Amino acid sequence: MTTRTATSRTRLSKEERRSQLLDLGVRLLSTRSLDELSIDLLAEEAGISRGLLYHYFGNKHDFHEAVVRRAADDLIAQTAPPVEGEPLHRLLVSMTAYLDYVDANEPGYRSLVKAASGGNDTLREIYDEARAALTDRIFREDAQGTLISETPHTRLLVRGWAAMAEELVLGWKADPQGVTRDEVLEMLVVSLPALVAALPSD
């Protein structure tokens, strides 16, 4: 995420300015839900007029779509596993980053999951893309197949595991009940190979 402030006086292209406003939108989303993120609020925080914002984002729907797409891209980028290393270690690094991301952006992330599962087709599509990127990566970036080899069964299982990871993290954030962060992390990491090992053999 950029550290430029939205009130920077530097002369920027329309694309750069739009991108800067999106960063601000994502930052605002880290502490509130999508429903609470209005163009009015963005205008106020950016110190510019609503009219100008409509120049960058056609309407509230387009604005929300752009912010959610940026948030999904951030999530994908931030949870990228390291290129090198043991598969389980790379999974640990990626899951640590996922937990960090949810920590830093809980309301927005919850809102993304909710919007994706709810009625809005565009938001669901963006979310599905993000989730697919996260799960596909487990196969793509594990070229040696030491952790998981790709079959229709493992694809389905990894998809299920991703849903479990989401529920584990959001459930734990909502009510930790004495379970520590390290324990959640370990549950996330050991669950995947355990599930693969338990798969019925062909």
The least CB distance from residue 105 to a copy of itself, in Å, is: 18
Nearer to a copy of itself, 21 or 95 (CB): 95
Residue with tokens 């062909």: 202
Distances (CA, A) of 23 to 6, 28, 68, 134: 9, 9, 11, 21
User: Measured from the CB atom, is 44 or 186 closer to a copy of itself?
Assistant: 186
Applying the rule CB under 8 A, the residues between 139 and 198 that interact with a copy of itself are 152-153, 155-157, 159-168, 171-172, 177-179, 183-184, 186-187, 190-191, 193-195, 197-198
Contact 39, 53 (CB under 8 A): yes
Q: What's the closest the beta carbon of residue 35 comes to a copy of itself, in angstroms?
A: 8
Q: Whose structure tokens read 């009015």? A: 40
Q: Which residues contact 22 (CB under 8 A, 6 or more apart)?
A: 66, 67, 70
**Distance between CA atoms of residues 157 and 152, nearest Å:** 9
Size of the site for a copy of itself (CB under 8 A): 40
Query: Of 95 and 157, which CB lies nearer to a copy of itself in the complex structure?
Result: 157
- Do residues 29 and 109 lie in contact, with contact meaning Cβ atoms separated by under 8 Å? no
What is the footprint of a copy of itself within residues 50-79 (CB under 8 A)? none
- CB of residue 56 to a copy of itself, shortest distance in Å: 27
| Binding mask of the shown chain, residues 102 to 141, with x at each position contacting a copy of itself by CB under 8 A | -----------xxxxxxx----------------------
User: Which residue number, 43 or 195, has a Cβ lying nearer to a copy of itself?
Assistant: 195
Residues 45 and 24: beta-carbon distance below 8 Å? yes
- Run of H or E residues at 147: none
Sign of CA dihedral 134, 126, 22, 28: negative
Binding residues vs a copy of itself (CB under 8 A): 113-119, 152-153, 155-157, 159-168, 171-172, 177-179, 183-184, 186-187, 190-191, 193-195, 197-200
